[in-house]
Structure 1
Amino acid sequence: MKILKIIKLFCLMAGFALIGCSEEEDSQTNNQNGDLVVNNNSEDLSVRILVTSDTVDVISDDSNGKTEKTFTLIKTSEISSPEVNGETLMANSLDMRNSLIAVSYNLRGDVYGGAVDLMVLSGDNLKLTSQVVAGNADVNATYFDGSRLYLAGAATGSDSTAYIYQLIVKDNKLVTESAMFSWLGGHTATGLVEEGKYIYVTTGDNETTGGGLHTRSQNDLSFSSYKPLHDARWVDIKDKKIYVQQGTPGNLSVIELDDNSQIQQFGFTGLNTPESKSTFDISGDLIFLASGYDGVQIINRNTGATVGQIAIPEEDSSVDMVSNSVTVEGNKIFISNGESVIAAQFDNKNAANPNPVILGTLDLGDHQSINHVRFRSNRLVVASGLGGVKIIKLVNK
């Protein structure tokens, strides 16, 4: 089939080398070199799921050791990380759309290897429905767009290693028949978002080597525009404005969606560690920026003023404790701080003085590497590196 030949070409360019595709939904596609494995057998994948009903303690920072009493957190599921070439992958990024969750994985260091898990969460029931394992590519971010799932990361096979890849989601399964692939400039793709007919992808490294914001057509991933930006780490769109978080030093670039012109820059402290993961979340008029050793900075996106900060607690101020991800919904904030997750709250009706307050640290066990957190509809999803993924339910009292 012509379509299969096109897919194979794209995958070879990406170092994925896909051989053969099946139209069966409950199938596994494996190539001779082990570069790409697509598994849509949910029964086979379910062995990685551990169902629990454990209460997650929120350890207070006050001297009495009290826990926050206005809500309870219950861990309902854990998903162990997959392996590639005999090595356990690290869960590093999440995207959530309604009941669907996509998790991306990569390998630490210079060796490439990654995966994507697609799962469905219905109430407390979690079903792992589909998986792609790539032998020669890190997957650093995912993004749902209707029936499409976009992947971005870095792969072997090109002088410019950053890439974007598109798969179709059909009946909660990943379909490879119409897959599309494109190289990007920059060392590695770090974040992506869709708006209208375009996909916006950030890539890290210096702008002279292709780092910045890349705009690609949703239809075929063809080039639309490129804006050089140093150390671009994350991207989101709100009210026809593109927000790009940058590091070394910390900076938030605001770009007009319609003409790609840069209209504002907001500097902030932190993000001085090269090649580090950093994300932000937008809530109303406020932007919550994970800022490395400087915790979370809160910026009013209308004025550019820094209106709050959530510093790393003193007992967590070791070299491993950096804020690299933050998620906000309602008046709740969850922050990934190295080996821990911090719970906080703020006044979500006062954009001039949100007054954030730390509630405590979530007890998720030792030796976690919390890379990304997402909180939506009272569900906290945690990408905890080699510790896999944890699904936590918030119950208001």
Structure 2
Amino acid sequence: MTQYPYSSFLLSIFLIILLLFAGCSVNNDGFDDTGYSIENNESQLQVRLTETDQEITIQSTSEQAAKRVGPPSFTLNLIAEIDAPVVNGVITQATMVDIFGNSARAAVSYNVQGSDYIGAIDAIQVTSSPRNAIRVRSGIQFTNAKSNALYMDGNQLWIAQATNDPSITLDGTNSVARKFGVSGFSINDNPVHVSVQGFAANSIHKSDGSIYITSGSNAGLTILNQDLTEQIDFVPIPHARWVDTDDSRIVVLSGNPNTGSGTLHVLDKSDRSVLHEYPFSGADTPEAKNTVEIKGDLAVVAAGQSGTHLIDLNNGELLATIPVPDADALELNPNAVESNAASADEEIIFISNGEAGVYVAEASRDLNLYSTGDQLSVELLGYLKFDDFQSANHVAYRNKTLFVAAGLGGVKAVKLSGK
């Protein structure tokens, strides 16, 4: 048997310990992050903002009015439109809007289609006094990354991106998460970045001091501390597309083009063990956006061409489905009509259906308070009639305010009243 010197034995033990702890921290060194510029001059950003006060009608989707229980119990007013930023001469497209809790803060992410790695961010304030209005307070432009999703709280901004920057992709991954500090509504020039496993980080969420990131077909769910300096866990979930959490659960939506179905993965928040896995129809378009929002014991799932599903998180029961619009009746390409995102608050659900636009439905009860076993029904009210038709990539609805990420058409802000 080969004999090893005592010093060599100690060195071997030391190296093993280093390897054991290597997975607990992340390497942020060796990255010269010059591929961004921050704009905190509000007057420069307001050029892209158009304020308005236009009532938005809800057009019925049925020719037989008797099928509807009654007219909508609320009114909608378009209060502002934000043009998408132009970066390096390229018009970006709005990919997501995040509304932070019950605050007046919101933020928008932008990217571009194709091989260019270009993106942007807008930080927005929603005001109600002396009138309903939107202000674009600060922004970031990126020349080395696409901004696919984001999360903003009162002091920090986290962004999920895809990048071709070789200083990030040396390990073979194309994803990056970035964090910027925020003072008031000004973005600080103190970014932190971390490389994330997967081709493209496609959703990001913060809860209880942790950052949750999904990253596409070849990765899963990455969990980091909020400073992006430590990896807490990695859960392999192929084709992971979106993540949301509540007090006790992590819910990840995955969609597999090979099987033609999606899955809700319900994980225990404390130890990431699998509580449930619920398959559902849809979420199978390659590289498409699909979202999940937790409402009480309910998941509101935008599932592509199979529509929007309301699924009980405790037993997997499909409580309701809101179908996608009839593309042929609208004279649209069926591939351009699918439920990309759905956002709900109280009884109201807004759905972005691609080139078919934004649809609205009303539930029979406050979805935020739904508990397993409650009776629930949903009525599709119709679609929002905007003067200039745009493709709808994402919707976010909170505090009686609806934001529509309308791709190359930028962002639309709508206020709900009367309910």
Tell me which interval the TM-score lies in, with the shorter structure as reference length.
0.7 to 0.9
Distance 2:208 2:293 in 1: 20
Helix, strand or coil for the counterpart of 2:45? helix
Count of residue pairs the alignment pairs up = 366
- 1:241 maps to 249
Distance 1:307 1:368 in 2: 30
Structure 1 residues 310-321: aligned runs within 5 Å: 310-314=322-326, 315=329, 318-321=334-337
1:229 aligned to 2:241?
A: no
- 1:54 maps to 54
* Alignment match of 1:343 (pick from 360, 367, 377): 360
Helix, strand or coil for the counterpart of 2:44? helix
| Matching residue's letter, 2:316 | G
Any conservation in 2 of the 1:282–1:328 contact (CA below 8 Å)? Answer: no
* Alignment match of 2:178 (pick from 147, 165, 174): 165
Structure 1 residues 250-261: aligned runs within 5 Å: 250-261=262-273
Over the residues paired in the alignment, what is the CA RMSD in angstroms?
A: 2.0
Distance 1:198 1:139 in 2: 20
* Alignment match of 1:112 (pick from 112, 117, 122): 117
Distance 1:325 1:188 in 2: 18
Distance 1:146 1:96 in 2: 11
* Alignment match of 2:85 (pick from 68, 73, 82): 82
- 1:122 maps to 127
1:393 aligned to 2:418?
A: no
Distance 2:228 2:407 in 1: 32
1:73 aligned to 2:76?
A: yes
| Matching residue's letter, 2:121 | V
1:329 aligned to 2:367?
A: no
Change (3 A) 1:299 1:331: same
Any conservation in 1 of the 2:194–2:228 contact (CA below 8 Å)? Answer: no
Distance 1:69 1:353 in 2: 21
- 2:293 maps to 281
Task: Give deviations 1:251-273, integer Å, cap 9, x for gaps.
Answer: 00011111121121010000111
| Matching residue's letter, 1:80 | D
- 1:94 maps to 97
Q: Which structure 2 segments of 5+ residues have no match?
A: 1-26
Deviates more, 1:62-71 or 1:347-356: 62-71
Q: Which has the higher strand share?
A: 1
- 1:29 maps to none
C-alpha displacement at 1:363, in angstroms? 1.1
Distance 1:365 1:293 in 2: 25
| Matching residue's letter, 2:149 | A
Distance 1:17 1:144 in 2: 20
C-alpha displacement at 1:64, in angstroms? 5.9
Distance 1:38 1:10 in 2: 21
Distance 2:399 2:207 in 1: 23
C-alpha displacement at 1:196, in angstroms? 2.2
Any conservation in 2 of the 1:60–1:68 contact (CA below 8 Å)? Answer: no
| Matching residue's letter, 1:58 | I
Taking every aligned residue pair, what percent have the same amino acid on both sides?
Answer: 32
Task: Give deviations 1:62-98, integer Å, cap 9, x for gaps.
Answer: 3267993421110000000001121110000111121
| Matching residue's letter, 2:158 | Y
- 2:316 maps to 304
Any conservation in 1 of the 2:72–2:381 contact (CA below 8 Å)? Answer: no
Distance 1:239 1:45 in 2: 37
Change (3 A) 1:218 1:69: closer
Q: Which structure 1 segments of 5+ residues have no match?
A: 1-8, 19-34
Any conservation in 2 of the 1:82–1:89 contact (CA below 8 Å)? Answer: yes
Helix, strand or coil for the counterpart of 1:201? strand
Distance 1:297 1:116 in 2: 30
Bigger radius of gyration: 2
* Alignment match of 2:383 (pick from 348, 351, 361): 361
1:382 aligned to 2:390?
A: no
- 1:189 maps to 201
Any conservation in 1 of the 2:28–2:229 contact (CA below 8 Å)? Answer: no
Change (3 A) 1:366 1:353: farther
1:144 aligned to 2:134?
A: no
Change (3 A) 1:120 1:11: farther
C-alpha displacement at 1:366, in angstroms? 4.7
Distance 1:69 1:293 in 2: 26
Deviates more, 1:314-323 or 1:158-167: 314-323
- 2:15 maps to none
- 2:9 maps to none
Change (3 A) 1:89 1:224: same
Any conservation in 1 of the 2:245–2:294 contact (CA below 8 Å)? Answer: no
Distance 1:353 1:90 in 2: 39
C-alpha displacement at 1:195, in angstroms? 2.1
- 2:41 maps to 41
Any conservation in 2 of the 1:300–1:352 contact (CA below 8 Å)? Answer: no
Question: TM-score scaled to structure 1, two decimals?
Answer: 0.88
1:202 aligned to 2:214?
A: yes
C-alpha displacement at 1:348, in angstroms? 2.1
Task: Give deviations 1:148-201, integer Å, cap 9, x for gaps.
Answer: 110111011212011110001101111022x21000000011111122232111
Any conservation in 1 of the 2:325–2:337 contact (CA below 8 Å)? Answer: no
Task: Give deviations 1:126-161, integer Å, cap 9, x for gaps.
Answer: 211111000110011111244111011101121201
- 1:133 maps to 141
Helix, strand or coil for the counterpart of 1:319? helix
| Matching residue's letter, 1:46 | Q
Helix, strand or coil for the counterpart of 1:46? helix
Helix, strand or coil for the counterpart of 1:390? strand
Deviates more, 1:37-46 or 1:212-221: 212-221
